[in-house]
């Protein structure tokens, strides 16, 4: 019994931790498959041993997790969660339970949008209050941010007072654009659209929410009988007539087999939609039956959520290798036997950190289940323990850096291990690559591969050595793919970078926590690198988007003698970054361009910079939200898709004319 008690305690604690990460941090560390597996195990144990049920069990509440920086809102009508089903047999059991109570009923079937549940209150047709679900009883006041959601009506077509509940979500193309921008700024990427939507919706600055281009689907009306509604299907039609965005893919079916037919149809069809959906919500259509069918403490008995199974394949974990980032973060990576997942060959997957590996008990030689997170990023889900070699060795995080051998460190409240050696070859190499990258100093001709070559040969040992390459022109000629013309162009690019914008230089230094946006804000207050080097923590924290952690990181960076020596070296070599005013050219503001093919005179990077300098955006994929496709010779599938969608296609000449008009 002690083992059972300890297992229940463990499950309660770990699931509450996962709930906190999911609901509050918008940064889950465990996938849905594992979470659901642990929750079902806890439910089974509690049912078998009711005397061992703990007061803080997550099975008896929606989730007691609220942010303290947002005003609390009490829901007059609780926002309940739903029970889950993972098989057609479970759906049929759900149907049988209802038929024991009532016999004459139908179902509505709606796609389960992977977003943030919300409540919108209207008074006399005007949106007056927006709230999150929170713990189902108490939510968070997010009215200002709800007003920024483009597909949520601010004024209804009728002067009605009502509460409408729905899902706030981020479209796939918006999510991809957001992560593309974050990647350019060398910022942490959102794991999936739901996390991005959650983080955007809880911003204290509604302007940030507006920039994130969130969307909304309405799915229920509180007290629908007050408006003459008797069924869920009619309610959805009514909401649409009022101006709400209602997901068009719902269906009214007569029985559970109709539900299953719908699931079969959307199992693959859902992948073509511009939003994430991980399942389907099934509700009894007739409202007058709800009280008869009843409720549990946590969920209604007249509705259930079916979860689509993720595509999971099994392959062998051949090795775990470690990479060092420019800030010293040590990232473990799985080397896999190549396997097709979601249409692509996967041979490698990130393992995030030590906690990720140990929580799954991953060992080299294991057969592991792999899927694509959000159907994009390969991730290891779990081990097939039945196939484990009895001699498999438990994972042990290395104590020293795999590149320089320095002792690794781990902060108490962080999951990552760090190499703190500023002279670490891995850190130095990644730092040089970052400094020269397009998003930083933008040194054309000095890409990842070239830097790796020059670093290995000893021509570049730190970022300052970039500006000494002019002394090695003869030596460079002996290196493969370094011709006279290429070397000449490279030297010109290096020389031009000396007068680069100060914010690009700051960003290029790779100060921990300092992204491209923060660098721009720093340039507004400090007009030279010398001024910034003298900045105090208390002064830095007064600047927009500069918190105490970032401020401390900046101060610590400039207190390091080696960093000071590096900056002095750069200054002595003529690097003199300038304060440059932001462009006032907004000719392309609101427009999104996709580039494809080879342009006659402009490189992709040059064209992209011209678009961005004019206030526009670039994207790697064509969608209905694309404004223009800039096409050159040998344009491929992007051009074809643009024609299919009726997107305007322009050539370089037209593009230049548009820019100069």
User: Among 106-110, 434-438, 654-658, whose mean pLDDT is lowest?
Assistant: 654-658
pLDDT 10s digits, 342-367: 545 778 888 888 888 998 999 999 99
Q: How far is CA 385 from CA 35, 310, 360, in A?
A: 18, 20, 11
| Residue indicated by tokens 């759900």 | 94
What is 313-409's CATH number? 2.40.50.140
> What pLDDT was estimated at residue 127?
92
For 617-649, how does the pLDDT look when each residue is reduced to its tens digit (9 = 90+)? Answer: 888 778 888 899 998 776 767 787 888 788 888
Q: HSE (CB half, 13 Å, CA atoms) of 86?
A: 8
Cβ neighbours for 232, distance < 8 A, ≥ 6 positions apart: 108, 220, 283, 284, 285, 287
Range 45-49 average pLDDT: 82
H/E element, 210: helix 206-211
Structure-block tokens of residue 559: 């207190």
Can 2-60 and 592-660 be said to share one CATH topology?
A: no
- CA separation, residue 365 to residues 203, 352, 398 (Å): 44, 19, 18
Separation between Cα atoms, residue 63 and residue 84, nearest integer Å: 16
pLDDT single digits (tens) 512-524: 888 877 888 898 8
Reported as a pLDDT band with limits 50, 70 and 90, residue 590 is: confident
DSSP for residue 360: H
Distance of CA 498 to the CA centre of its chain: 35
**Pairwise CA distance, residues 567 & 395, whole Å:** 41
Q: Tell me: pLDDT of 438 over 90.
A: no
Distance CA 243, CA 117 (A): 19
CA distance 120 to 486: 59
pLDDT class of 7 with cuts at 50, 70, 90? confident
485 is catalytic: no
Which range of 107-121, 126-140, 185-199, 584-598 scores highest in mean pLDDT? It is 107-121
3-state secondary structure of 427: helix
Give the pLDDT confidence score for residue 412 in this predicted structure: 73
What's the rounded Cα separation, in Å, for the pair 45 and 52?
A: 9
Check residue 641 and give its pLDDT. 82
| DSSP, res 1 | -
- pLDDT, residue 329, reads 87
Please say whether the beta carbons of 334 and 380 come within 8 A. yes
pLDDT surpasses 60 at 52: yes
CATH fold of 72-307 reads D-amino Acid Aminotransferase; Chain A, domain 1 (3.30.470)
pLDDT (0 to 100) of residue 66:
42
pLDDT at 573 over 80: yes
What's the CA dihedral at 238, 240, 245, 250 to 10 degrees?
Answer: 70
Instruction: Let me know the angle formed at the C-alpha of 459 by 456 and 464, rounded to the nearest 5 degrees.
Output: 115
Q: 459 pLDDT exceeds 70?
A: yes
User: Which residue, chain included where needed, has tokens 């049929």?
Assistant: 92
Residue with tokens 């500069």, as numbered in its chain: 546
Asked whether residue 63 carries a pLDDT value surpassing 50, the answer given is no
Separation of alpha carbons 517 and 609, rounded Å: 16
pLDDT of residue 296: 80
pLDDT at 264: 92
CA atoms within 13 A on the CB side of 250: 26
**How confident is residue 64, by pLDDT bands cut at 50, 70 and 90?**
very low
Mean residue pLDDT across the chain: 85
Quick check: 356 and 379 in contact, CB under 8 A? no
* Cα–Cα distance for residue pair 463/454, rounded to 1 Å: 12
> Cα(117)–Cα(12) distance, rounded to whole angstroms?
24
The percentage of the chain sitting over the pLDDT mark of 90, rounded to a whole number, equals 42
Q: What is the pLDDT of residues 67-118, one digit of tens each?
A: 445 678 888 888 888 888 888 999 999 999 999 999 899 999 999 998 899 9
Other beta carbons within 10 Å of 471: 10
For the segment 136-153, the average pLDDT, to the nearest whole number, is 89
Strand runs labelled E in 148-276:
162-169, 215-221, 251-253
- For domain 592-660, the CATH class is alpha beta
Residue 234's pLDDT is 96
How many C-alpha atoms does 340 have within 13 Å on its Cβ side? 2
By the 8 A CB rule, do 595 and 618 touch? Answer: yes
Q: pLDDT tens-digit profile of 358-397?
A: 989 999 999 999 876 544 568 888 899 999 999 999 999 9
Instruction: Examine the pLDDT at 22 and tell me if it is beyond 80.
Output: no
What is the per-residue pLDDT for 61? 53
Q: Which residue has the tokens 């011709």?
A: 483
Residues near 133 by beta carbon (within 8 Å), at least 6 away in sequence: 62, 75, 79, 116, 117, 118, 119, 139
Mean pLDDT calculated for residue range 161-169: 95
The radius of gyration of the chain's CA atoms, rounded to the nearest angstrom, is: 28
SS3 341: strand
Instruction: Give the model's pLDDT for residue 311.
Output: 67
pLDDT one-digit tens code per residue, 179-197: 888 777 766 667 678 878 8
Identify whether the C-beta of residue 614 lies closer than 8 Å to the C-beta of residue 585: yes
Which range has the worst mean pLDDT, 151-160, 182-191, 328-337?
182-191
Among the ranges given (26-40, 113-127, 549-563), the one the predictor scored with the smallest mean pLDDT? 26-40
Selected residue with higher pLDDT from 661 and 448: 448
Any idea where the domains of the chain sit in the sequence? 2-60, 72-307, 313-409, 425-572, 592-660
Say if residue 533's pLDDT is above 80. Answer: yes
Residue 163 above 90 pLDDT? yes
Three-state DSSP string of 493-547? HHHHHCCCEHHHHHHHCCCCCCCHHHHHHHHHHCCCHHHHHCCCHHHHCCCCCCC
Residues 175, 214: Cα–Cα separation, whole Å: 10
Q: Is the pTM above the cut of 0.85? A: no
- pLDDT computed for residue 374 by the predictor: 44
Burial of 110 (0-12, 13-18, 19+ CB in 10 A): buried
Q: Considering only the top CATH level, what class is 2-60? A: mainly alpha
For 436, list phi and psi in degrees, rounded to 5: -85, -10
303, 281 contact by CB (below 8 A): yes
Distances (CA, A) of 195 to 35, 189, 217, 481: 16, 10, 17, 43
Is the confidence at residue 266, as pLDDT, over 80? yes
Q: Which of 112, 372, 504, 520 is catalytic?
A: 112
Alpha helices in 54-138 (DSSP H): 88-99
Query: Do 628 and 647 form a contact (C-beta atoms < 8 A)?
Result: yes
Residue 496: both structure tokens together: 């031009």
- Tell me which CATH code domain 425-572 carries: 1.10.150.20
Q: What pLDDT does residue 644 have?
A: 79
Determine what percent of the chain falls in helix, strand and coil, rounding each to the nearest 5: 40, 20, 40
Residue 70: predicted pLDDT: 62
Residue 368 CB: number of other CB atoms within 10 A? 22
Between 26 and 659, name the one with better pLDDT.
659
């Amino acid at each position: 019994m002690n083992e059972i008690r300890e297992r229940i305690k463990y499950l309660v604690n770990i699931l509450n931790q996962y709930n906190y990460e999911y609901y509050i941090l918008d940064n889950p560390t465990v996938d849905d498959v594992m979470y659901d597996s642990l929750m079902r195990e806890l439910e089974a144990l509690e049912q078998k041993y009711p005397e061992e049920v703990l007061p803080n069990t997550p099975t008896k509440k929606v989730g007691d997790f609220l942010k303290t920086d947002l005003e609390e809102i009490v829901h007059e009508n609780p926002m309940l969660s739903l029970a889950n089903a993972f098989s057609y047999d479970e759906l049929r059991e759900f149907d049988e339970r209802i038929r024991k109570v009532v016999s004459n009923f139908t179902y509505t079937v709606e796609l389960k949008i992977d977003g943030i549940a919300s409540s919108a209150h209207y008074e006399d047709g005007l949106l007056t209050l927006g709230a999150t679900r929170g713990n189902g009883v108490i939510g968070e006041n997010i009215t200002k941010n709800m007003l920024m959601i483009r597909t949520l009506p601010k004024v209804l077509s009728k002067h009605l007072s009502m509460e409408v509940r729905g899902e706030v979500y981020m479209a796939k193309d918006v999510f991809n654009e957001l992560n593309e921008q974050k990647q350019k700024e060398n910022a942490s990427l959102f794991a999936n659209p739901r996390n991005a939507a959650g983080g955007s919706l809880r911003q204290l600055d509604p302007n940030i929410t507006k920039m994130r281009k969130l969307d909304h689907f309405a799915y229920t009306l509180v007290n629908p009988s007050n408006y003459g509604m008797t069924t869920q299907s009619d309610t959805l039609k009514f909401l649409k007539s009022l101006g709400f965005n209602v997901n068009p893919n719902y269906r009214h079916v007569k029985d559970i087999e109709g539900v299953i037919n719908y699931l079969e149809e959307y199992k693959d069809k859902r992948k073509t939609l511009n939003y994430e959906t991980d399942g389907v919500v099934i509700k009894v259509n007739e409202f007058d039956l709800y009280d008869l069918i009843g409720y549990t403490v946590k969920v209604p008995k007249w509705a259930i959520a079916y979860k689509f199974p993720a595509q999971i394949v099994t392959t062998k974990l051949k090795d775990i290798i470690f990479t060092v980032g420019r800030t010293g973060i040590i990232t473990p990576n799985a080397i896999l036997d190549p396997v097709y997942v979601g249409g692509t060959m996967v041979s490698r997957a990130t393992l995030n950190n030590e906690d990720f590996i140990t929580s799954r008990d991953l060992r080299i030689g294991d057969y592991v289940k792999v899927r694509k997170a959000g159907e994009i990023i390969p991730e290891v889900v779990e081990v097939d323990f039945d196939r484990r070699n009895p001699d498999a060795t438990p994972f042990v995080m290395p104590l020293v850096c795999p590149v320089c051998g320095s002792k690794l460190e781990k902060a108490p409240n962080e999951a990552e291990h760090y190499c703190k050696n500023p002279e670490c070859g891995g850190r130095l190499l990644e730092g040089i690559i970052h400094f020269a990258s397009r998003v930083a100093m933008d040194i054309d001709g000095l890409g990842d591969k070239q830097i790796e070559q020059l670093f290995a040969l000893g021509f570049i040992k730190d970022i300052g050595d970039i500006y000494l390459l002019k002394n090695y022109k003869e030596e460079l000629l002996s290196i493969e793919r370094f011709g006279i013309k290429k070397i000449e162009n490279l030297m010109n690019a290096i020389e031009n970078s000396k007068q680069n914008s100060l914010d690009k230089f700051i960003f290029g230094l790779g100060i921990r926590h300092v992204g491209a946006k923060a660098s721009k804000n720093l340039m507004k207050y400090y007009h030279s690198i010398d001024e910034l080097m003298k900045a105090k923590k208390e002064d830095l924290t007064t600047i927009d988007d500069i918190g105490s952690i970032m401020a401390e990181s900046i101060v610590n960076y400039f207190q390091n003698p080696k960093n000071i020596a590096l900056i002095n070296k750069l200054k002595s070599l003529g690097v003199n970054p300038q304060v440059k005013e932001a462009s006032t050219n907004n000719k392309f503001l609101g427009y999104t361009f996709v580039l494809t093919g080879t342009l006659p005179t402009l490189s992709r990077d040059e064209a992209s910079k011209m678009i961005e300098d004019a206030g526009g955006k670039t994207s790697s994929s064509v969608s209905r939200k694309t404004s223009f496709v800039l096409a050159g010779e040998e344009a491929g599938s992007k051009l074809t898709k643009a024609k299919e969608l009726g997107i305007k296609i322009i050539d370089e000449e037209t593009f230049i004319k548009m820019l100069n008009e």
